[in-house]
Structure formats: structure tokens, C-alpha cells
Structure 1
Amino acid sequence: MVKKLLLAFVTIPLIANAQFFQNFDNAETIPTGWTVLNGGDSNAWTIVNFTGGNISAYSGTNTASIGYSSTAHNDYLVTPAITVTSGVSDFLSFYARSRDPQYPETISIKISTTTPTADAFTKTLAASVAPASGADFYKYSYSLSEYVGQTIYVGFYSTTTDQFFFDIDDVFNGATPSCDAPSSISVSGITSNSANITWTPSSTPGATYEIEYGAAGFTQGTGTVITSNTASATLSLPNPSTAYQFYIRSNCGQTGFSAWSSVQSFSTMCTVITAYPYVQNFDTATIPTCWLNEAVSGGGSSVWTYVTANGNSSITPKSAPRMAEFRTTTTGNKAKLLTAPLNISSLTTPELKFSLANVNWFGDVDELRIYYKANPTDSWTQIGSSYTTEHSSWTDVSIPLPNKSANYQIAFEGTSNWARGIDIDNVSVVDTSALYVTDTAKEKSIKIYPNPAKNVVNIGTDKVLKSIELFSMTGQLIKTFSKDSKQINVSDIDSGTYLLRVKSEGKDESFKLIKD
């Protein structure tokens, strides 16, 4: 048994690959067959996952990376053994990135013709791999023809001190490509059923291109294949709000095909909502289709969730089984919950309605703000004022939507003040079909009249009023009125369109008011 084990041990290094491709995405540990040699500081080559980060891997989610230390590196990331065969495995390429211009990382490429141990890397394939620093990757390619007939190991060797991070992705060993592979691939013009792709063309005159695409995770050979005579193409896609992937390769005619590009990914847009009333009750544990959680700069990583009860108060869903909630114990954390895109251009008087609960914790109350965008490229604009007072039970809120458009979006932004969380439910967008002069008791518990108004506005309700505020359509507070008055004077207000916000018991209603 001892002899058998020893034989197995010494023969492992002789197992060699004819060719391989490694993008480090299968796990967050060094891939099987690869070796890490850590001979300097404590930091060694490791796998980094960029999901949710500010920068990304070249392809997929992961890279092999090494980070800075005040002590010099003496570290290798070593490939599996390569039996170099002419026209089969005599070519090596990879993508590399040095992340910080102020602290540039470099590596060298070493060759061992014996074992994957530090002392065996006596030959140099590239003395300095020094990509321009930043978020971009750069491709490096090398011939291994000098080593045809030998079994070698390739070592990515780092010796820097106190710099930053160096990333490697998409390491390829195989035959020297017969023509240039497409590079600098980009995706633009994404809609619910199409996307435009472009790339840097092959240097071979007359080259054409093949594109294979399919739903994310499809196996090459099973996707849809199209051809293009130019360095661009439009992909026709069957489903909105769906993740897709694609590959491109050059066809250089008599010299054959290039290698396929690394996998490229994107998602189609959501289909814009056109049927009203549109209602979202958050009845599943996951974010609704085509809704988004959007990070707020400096706001931490907390997001909205979809819960059956507030775990920190007595609030339960207004309509079972779930409600949307923003709750975190870190003061200042914030996040936006974005609706699906809405085409409200044909609505006479579009209005947002929702139910709100916001319970205090020893006087602290979490804050809710409502924003809108009339176009995807616009900045967010707040509607009315923030919701900063306690709502210990469900309060129905209604807000007229300004600047209606065909690609409208609404955002609920929660900010934590370490209270008991913000809960919303029964979100809807409706067309009230009038300027609120004809609102019925079923639609509104409060009426305002006349509207348009010149001097005074009457507030018709049998409820006790809590506050009366007038805002510009961009959210600026114009005037506060006495809550004890059911007739307010607007004679000193400039002509225009405003939001009149009236709070009463269990209601928080906003009205579009036209001042003559």
C-alpha cells in the first residue's frame, strides 16, 4: 500500500493538459490542477468574486487576484502541466488588470520545464506584464513554440511591494489562432426584445463573423447562430426582462476561424406597463418582476425586502401575505425601490397610491421619500415632502404624478434612523380622470374646491386635519397652512400648478391644485 501511494504521488505532476481555458468562475477556490506558491508576504493569489462590486471580472464573476502588502510578494500562480504540441497547445493568452493608477502592479511570466515549484521557474516568457491601471483588462498573448515536445508549467509571478491589486482572467492554452478573435465587445441599444452588439474587427481583410447567443447559461452549440459581414449585429430576443449571453468569433476564410470570444452577458429591458390601474401588492418573497433595488451612494448595502410581518413592530401586511419593508439598524443606510417602467402618457390624471406604516423607536422615525423620473436618463426628482412622522397603523397615501411620459419610473427611498422600519403595501398607479373636483368619497376622503382656484380653496372633510402643506411640482415646500382651517388663502401664490398635501386621521392625500 505504501509503494502504491508513493507511485501515485510522484506521477501526478506528469499529468498534462493538451489545452485548456480557465475563467475562475466555477468556485471561489483555486481551480483543481492549479498551484499557488506563497513565498513572500502572507498575501497569496486567490479567487475574487466581483458580484455587486463597482468593477467586474473580464468575463463572468471571478478573477485570480493578488493584493498588496507592505512586505514584498514572492508569489506564483501556476497553471496545470502543459504538453506543448505544435498546432495544438503552443499558444498562451490571458487578460490582466492593474486596478489603481497610483499603485501600479506588475507581474512576470515564468516557465518551468520540470516541476511546479518556485526554484524550477528558471525561464522567463515575459519580464514585465504591466497593463495600464484602472478598471479595464488588457489581453496578452505569447507563443510557446520554443517548448514544443516538452511538458511545462506557466507561472504568473508577483514580486511587488505595497502596490494594490492585480487581476487575471480567461487564461487560454491551445493552438495559435488562425485569425484575430473579436475584441472590445460592447452591448448597446438594449430593448425588451433586442440588443445591438459591436466589436473591434479582425485584422484579416474580408473577415466575417459568427455570433452564437441564448439564455444565460446555455451550452455552446445549442444557441442561435447568426452571421455578420461587419463588426456589428442586432440580436432578436424572445423574452423581456431576461438574462442572455453570447459569443463571437471571426471567420477568416481559408485560414479558418478564430477562437470564440469570452462569454458576454446582458439583460433585456422590461416591457413597459401600459394597462391601468396597475397594482403591486408584494405577494411573493422576491422582488416583483421588473422592479429594482437601487443602491444610494453612501447608503450602505441594505435593500428592501418582502415580509409577512415587521419583526420589530406589530405591523402586518395591509393585504396578505406580504408587504415591502426597508429596515436596518444602521443609521443613515438608505436604498431605493424602483417600480417597473410605466407608460402614463395617455392617462388624463395619473396618481400614485400606496399604504404606509412607519413606527417610531423611542422617538426615532425612519424616513420615506418618493421620487420620479420622466425618462431613464433623467435625475431623480422628489415628489412633495419626506414622510418623517410616525404612522403607527396603515395610512393611505395618494400623490398626483407630475410630468407624465411614456417611460416613467417611481422610486420609494427609505432612510434608516434606527427606528422600526418602513412598510408599504398596495401600491397602485391609477388614472383619476379629473382634476379632483369630481373625486367621489370612494376615491377620496377629502375634497378640495374650487379647482382651479384664485383666492381661497375649501377643504371638504369630516375628519380632523393634521397638516396642510403646499408644494411646487418639483417638491419644494411653498407654504404651510393652519391645520384648524378648512378654508385656505392662496391669493398670494403665483399662478401655476401645485401639490396640496392634506394629512388627516389614517390618510395622507395629495391633490394637484391649479392656481389661476
Structure 2
Amino acid sequence: MRKLLFFILGLPALSFGQWTENFDAGTTMPAGWAVINNGGANGWVFGTPGTGTAQSGTNVASLTYNATAHDDYLITKAITVTAGVSDRISFYVKSRSASFLENYEVLLSTTDQTAGAFTTVLQASQDAPTAWTQNTFDLSAYVGQTVYVAIHATDTDQWQLYADTFVVDSVPTTPPSCTTITSPTNGATGVNPDGILNWTMIPAATGYKVRVGTTPGGTDIVNNTDAGNVLTYNITGNLNTNTLYYATIIPYNGIGDATGCSEISFTTVAAPANDDCAGAVSLTVNSDLACGTVTAGNTLGASASADVLAPCTGTADDDVWYSFTATGTTHQISLTNLVSTGTTTASSIYFQVLSGACGALTNVNCSTTATKTITGLTAGQTYYVRVYTSSGAGYNMSFNICVGTPPPPPANDNCASPIALTVGTDFASGAITTTNVSATSDGTPESCQTSSNNNVWYSVVVPSSGMLTIETKAATGSAYTDSVINVFSGSCGALTGVGCDDDNGDGNFSLLSLTGQTPGTVLLISVWRWSNASVFDGEFQLSAYDSSTLATTEVSKTKNSIQAFPNPFSEVLNISDISNVKSISVMDVAGRLVKTIEKPSSTLHLGELRSGMYMVTLTMKDGTMQTIKTIKK
């Protein structure tokens, strides 16, 4: 959903004084400020930002999107403009997302805090960038007057706008002081070559110049570039790995540049040995999926490789390489213990599997998840694995990589070798615990759910009643959580569909009730796992049962002895004596309540129920209950 955070910022001011407001005193509007909300329902709030950090402290002023356009003001308290004391105001703004930049303007009133009073435009409407950016306004023209400053938001349906660190001070008469580079620190080693510099704010500065070189005082990388009034700078193009660099940040204002600013030095991290295909690290192939042997890796310092093949997605600017020799046709590759190591927090990591030789590789598979089962391999052949974070510069991750070997397919992987089920009287009496781990998809049609994979087979003989319920349930600790059941008559290669179910059981498990089947007929059951991700394979419970063997006329013996007929029934179930019945509840064989009838009549219309057995419970006016087992044809 698209979101918009509109941010109206007011600038706090004390009469005849300088001040700073960063909203950290609480979550209420500062004293003397005013808010006008003429647009959408969302208005100005104070607190921690929805993402990222405040420019200073912990809180910001913020405004959240509406489908209706904002017409919202955040207005400072009165500012008495005094020359050389309080004749300048500054603040920081940013948008939450580059895809939804927030639009705002800055206005001034010389009379009061009503919307109509803000007739002077200090800044025309513009988008707030995604990095904290300082705006500074000279109030010298208003010396001797009392003014109010407001941020006016008018955008529609974007996301979020933030503002922070309002400062009222004086227009500088001298150059600013020097800043301190906070990252990288002076003398740091192993620095990310993404080339991101950060420094502290200097209130008297209106901008900062950046100088970076490979010699003391050098400018061969960045030559006194004006970064603007920001506190971070990303050097165009990655720096070289394992290289010593020198950097200086020089604040400036309308009077001039800061002088005597200290230079720092730092050394970038060395490129990993497996930065290219030729240096691929050999991996141990585990004999199971437990990953007893893993290899540590890190994309920090890695660069893009020439051996990058379609159709894999993501920004492969930091790939590292591994190789393994397949011991079978199927292996599972897993990336575990993922830790962000870049200057920007990384959250996703991809990998590609390739065959052939370095410089002449062929794509085998792409993965956008940390674990994937790769099929169609050739035992004895060497394969390459290229690992990279999905985003661009600054995003790096360390990890452990494992090549595992799944167990062989289960014995009932194919239609020709089903496991025979014994028909029970309820789920528990007929249940077995079984698995689809390493099963393959055999191409049998799944008539009720096409997104199904890795099916296994079972058979069952139809009981004398011609009625049968087939149901799956979860097995403790298993990743298998969603099944699809297909039932067939006939023989392998000449199957005829009898029924199919996806999610009528518990949660996302399946339950299929069959009636009118020919006693003694063998039915074949294909159980699929929903989803395309093999990580959801595992154990599950399966049962075939015929609840009608409990007896269709069994009645709990209570003093009422009421009868239900006909039993089995098709559409209508009659109750022999309704005079003392307060309510009736109907539950299926799994114990789920499917219908409740208050003040019932003697005729119950139950045609909407599926075929199968139901427990009809009569609650009497004296509080006693009677339960009757019934069968819906």
C-alpha cells in the first residue's frame, strides 16, 4: 500500500534568544507551537520515525499520508527577531522513501498563527530528499518584529515526511568551525570500499566540501566537491580494496570556509580470495541435510564478476565464488548465520549455480532465497556457486554456506508403489505418520490446486458402507504445513479422478469425504505439498476412516431419549420431540462446530452440509444434553 507522510514543521523560538528543538521532550506538541489540519485525517505527530533514525536524539515531527490531499501546517511559537542573536532559523527534513517523495513549502507570518496569515514564502514547494537535509533561512529582514514560521504540506497519498533539529540562532559573521568525520574513523582498517563518509553537524555551516585522495592532502579521488548541507557523502564508484586513503570535510558558510580542518586516513578491506570464479573455494558436500560441515564467507570487499549470467536477478556488485563436486543428482544449498557487514543494513542474499569452466559457464539455477534444492545435477561434475547480496553499494553480508544431500525418494514416490492404508473408525485409529521429503512431482493432475509439488502415493480399499474420509494433519515439528489430496480410481497410467481437496482440514491441511463408492474397490491417493519451496517438505499425518462403522443410530443415553430420523439423511433431519430442546449444535467428525440453531423446530434443514458423519447435540431446557451421531448422504 502506498503511504504518504506529510511533515509540517514549525520552528520553535524563544523571545530574544537562541534555541534548539528536536522534539525529544515527549510525544506532545511543544509549548507555544500550533497545528492546523485542514486536509486529510492524519495530522502532525511527535515520536520516533517509522524507519531509520532521527537527525538528532530519538524523536521527529512527522505527518502520515492520506488519500485526501493534506493542507496541514506545523507552526512555531513566536520568534522575536533580534540582530546578531535570533535572525536565522534552520531545520532538517527527509522523506521516508525515494519512491514517494514528500512535497512541502516553508511560509512566514508576521501577525499570528492562522493559516491566512502565512503570506510570505520562504521556500517554494519542493520534494524532501531521502537523506536528512538542512534548510536555513535568513530572518534579518524581520529584525525588531515577531514572526512565525511554518512548514505547509499539501501532497497526496505518498508515504512519510520527517523533520528534526530546529535551530534559531544568528546569521554568522565568521566562517564555521571544523567538523569531525565519524565514519570511517581515523586510522581504521578493513573499511568497506563503498566510499561512504559521515560527519557531525556544525550549526554555523551552510554546506560541506569533500576532499579524498590517495596521498596526504590529495584530491585525486574527490576534489573539493560541494556536498551541500548534508552529513553524508557517497564517493562515486567503489574505492579500491586494500588501499590507503585520506579524507577531509570542510564546512563553509556565506563568510567562508573553515580553516585548519584535520585530515583522516583509512585503509579499505582486502578483496576476498574468492572474489572471482578462478579463486572459487571448494566446498565439502555433506551426506545429509544437517549441514555438519559449513564454510564461512563474506561479500565485504568483493566486486562484480565478469561471469554473471542471466536470468538471475539482484545487484551482483559483490559476488564471491565457491565450487563443489556433485555426489548425486540433487543437492540442497543453504546460506545460514546471515549477518549484515556493510555500511547499509542488508537483509537478503541470492546465489546462482553454474556449470562448465570459468569464462565459459552455463546457468543451472538461480535462487532468491537462502536455501534451495537444486535438481538435475550430474554426479561427479563440478559446479560453481556465486553468492551475492541483492542490493547495491554498501550492502554486504557474512554467512555460512553448506551443500547438503537429501535422502533418496520415499518408497511411495510413484503411483506404482503406494503405501496401503488401513481404514479406521476415526482419524486417530487410521492415522499414519509419513513423509514427502525427497519426493518428486510425477505430473499427475491436481484438479483443485495447481501450485502443488512433490507428491507421494497411498492406496485404500473402500469399506462395505461405501463411505470414506481421507484427511491430513500436521506432524509435530515438521515444516510440512499445507497439503492437497487427489483421489483416483483405476490403475496407474489410466486414472480417473474421484475427488480432490485443498484446505478443508485443520489449518491448510486437507479433508475429503467420499460417499457412494463401490465396496472393495481400491482407490489411489496422491498427497501433494502446496507451494514451490522444498523447505516445506517433511512429515505429516494421513488417515483413511469410516465413521459410519460407529453405528448410524447410536444415541447417548440420557433421560430424554429423543430420536433423529431418517438416519442417514439427505436434506432434512427430523427430531422426534422438540418440546424440551433449547438449542441444537452440529459438529463434524473433527470436532468443528458447523451450525448452531437456537429455538429449533422439529425439522432441521441441513442440505448445505457436506457428505459425512456429524454429531448433533441437543441442549435441553434443564441444562442436560443428548448427542446423536448422524450421517449426511
- TM-score category (smaller protein): 0.3 to 0.5
Higher gyration radius (CA): 2
Greater relative contact order, per chain length (Cα 8 Å cut-off, separation 6+)? 1
**Length-normalised TM-score, structure 2:** 0.31
